[in-house]
Amino acid sequence: MSLLQKQFLVPLLSLFGLYLMLRFQTINQGDPNLLWSPIIWIVASLICITPLWYDRSYAYKTWRYSPYVTAVLLALGLLFTGYLLQGIIVDHPIKAEESDVIPSLEVYVRRLLAGEKVYTAIPFKGYEVWPTYFPGMWLPYLLPELMGFDYRWMALGSFYLSISYMILSISKEHKNLLQSILMGLLPAFFIWQLMRYDRSIFAFSTELMPIGFYLWLIWGLYKKNIWIIGIFISLCTLSRYAYTLWMIPFIYVIWTAEGFRYLLNIGLVGISVILLLYIFPFFMVDPGILTDGLAYYGKTAEGQWALQGWQNDGDIPYHLANGRSMSYWFYHYVDGDHIAKLERAKLFHKLISLGTALVLTFVYYRKQSSISWNKYLILSLFLYLSIFYLFLYVPFSYLYMLPLMVGMMCWILYGYEHKSINKITNRG
């Protein structure tokens, strides 16, 4: 592979795949060609990830001011996205009539602060919801509740500061100017595009918070830090636990590469966090909250596969009509009522997720000598999440930010191979 290919063509090909994933969530959202839209998603994921598997060590010139360029771009990006979020907050004050997601989070937090039982039905005007969120989804908002600022600022700020720290750490290590510029621009560009085409993601949800947990998990794997891995794999479990079956390759890879004691230490840290944040304060008080929450989520899924009250006969259920998952294939081709279609989609989703986890485990078994274990786990997490959300049967738009941002983090870490050799220092 030539130096030109290593420095430009391969990383830009991967970046192009990432852009296609972003386009899938922005410009092409709600594409009427629903049968093909999810195929574009998975093809884009493969274009993004395939070049990243290969070691592309090469000599490159460094520029000592590159980290400062990155820092300036990240700071400007934070100001820009903050300005955009302020407009969204002004246009969409928190009201349950528009969405009950953030109002529900407020109830969780305020009940805890008042010493009330958190996990009991939440009444809204004309209906009630059952609290299904684990503590990782709402405990961080103790801070904005106590300090009196909007929860959405907490989500954006924690995400942006976290990824900025990671990017700056990489930029300081490698001082590659082109890489530093691209890394400095990516977070703000992605958030800007998402805000531009679907403001509801940021108006009605705080999805950037659990995404931040996943990025810290990836950072822990990248640094091989037991504490970071253990803490944030537990916080992922207590927020967006989409990764659950990926634990199969996770356990196998770490046990094989680092031994049982290393895996045990991660497990002890993770279990301690779960015990402290969920089991002792909530689950042991009322063990039924887990099954009640899962049952309520099942009813929610059924509701999303039925026509909404404002839709006409012959319409496609609203959340299936946005072109974001293969669920429409099941709605279109499977016989029976919407419940039968949903059950088939749920079964296939479980099987494909399990199959993906097993294949990823087998691939590492065959290829472990040719790739570092932590790089394999990071890239396999992105691939697993891409497939998991490809077949997700409740395809809410905001959920698709997670695999997208994980893909962005993979590119930041491996778009330019960091095992660079014979660095040539340019002191100018």
Q: What is the pLDDT of residues 73-119, one digit of tens each?
A: 999 999 999 999 999 999 999 999 999 999 999 999 999 999 999 99
pLDDT given at position 30: 59
Is the pLDDT at 346 greater than 60, yes or no? Answer: yes
Range of the domain at 212: 3-426
Q: Out of 23-32, 180-189, 198-207, 295-304, which region has the weakest mean confidence (pLDDT)?
A: 23-32
Neighbouring-strand partners of residue 127: 124
- Check whether 232 has a pLDDT greater than 50: yes
Tell me what pLDDT residue 426 has: 43
Alpha-carbon span 163 to 411, nearest angstrom = 13
Q: Kindly report, residue by residue over 383-427, the tens digit of the pLDDT.
A: 999 999 999 999 888 999 999 999 999 999 988 764 444 444 444
The average confidence (pLDDT) of the chain is: 90
Higher pLDDT, 428 or 363: 363
Q: Which two tokens stand for residue 285?
A: 């008080």
pLDDT digits (tens, 9 = 90+) for 371-395: 999 999 999 999 999 999 999 999 8
What is the structure's pLDDT at 64? 78
User: For the chain, what percent of residues have pLDDT higher than 70?
Assistant: 91
**Number of domains within the chain:** 1
Q: Which residues pair with 122 in a beta bridge?
A: 129
Q: Which segments of 259-367 does DSSP mark as H helices, in order? A: 260-274, 288-304, 327-333, 338-367
Which DSSP string corresponds to 212-269? HHHHHHHHHHHHT-HHHHHHHHHHHHTS-GGGGGGHHHHHHHHHHHH-HHHHHHHHHH
- pLDDT recorded at residue 421: 43
Instruction: Report residue 250's pLDDT band, with 50, 70 and 90 as the boundaries.
Output: very high
Contact yes or no for 334/326 (Cβ under 8 A): no
- Give the Cβ contact number of residue 242 at 10 Å: 19
Mean pLDDT of the 159-176 span: 88
Give the H or E element holding residue 1. none
| Residue 363 confidence class, pLDDT cut points 50, 70, 90 | very high
Grade residue 299 by pLDDT with cuts at 50, 70 and 90: confident
CA 296 – CA 288 distance, rounded (Å)? 12
What pLDDT sits at residue 57?
60
Confidence band for 175, pLDDT divided at 50, 70 and 90: low
The answer to whether the beta carbons of residues 373 and 253 sit under 8 Å apart is yes
pLDDT digits (tens, 9 = 90+) for 116-159: 999 999 999 988 999 999 999 999 999 999 999 999 999 999 99
As a whole-number percent, the residues of the chain with pLDDT over 90 amount to: 69
- What pLDDT sits at residue 34? 62
Locate all alpha helices (DSSP H) within 57-207, ordered by sequence: 66-91, 101-113, 142-147, 151-174, 177-197, 200-203
Taking residues 180-197, what's their average pLDDT?
Answer: 95
- Which residue would you say has higher pLDDT here, 336 or 59? 336
Q: How confident is the model at residue 172 (pLDDT cuts 50, 70, 90)?
A: confident
Residue 310 has pLDDT above 90, yes or no: no
Q: Is the pLDDT of residue 176 over 80?
A: no
Hey, which of 12-16, 258-262, 412-416 has the most confident mean pLDDT?
258-262
Res 293 pLDDT > 90: no
Whole-Å CA distances, 278 to 119, 137, 227, 246: 11, 12, 19, 22
pLDDT band at 239 (very low <50, low <70, confident <90, very high): very high
Q: Distance between CA 127 and CA 93 in Å, rounded?
A: 20
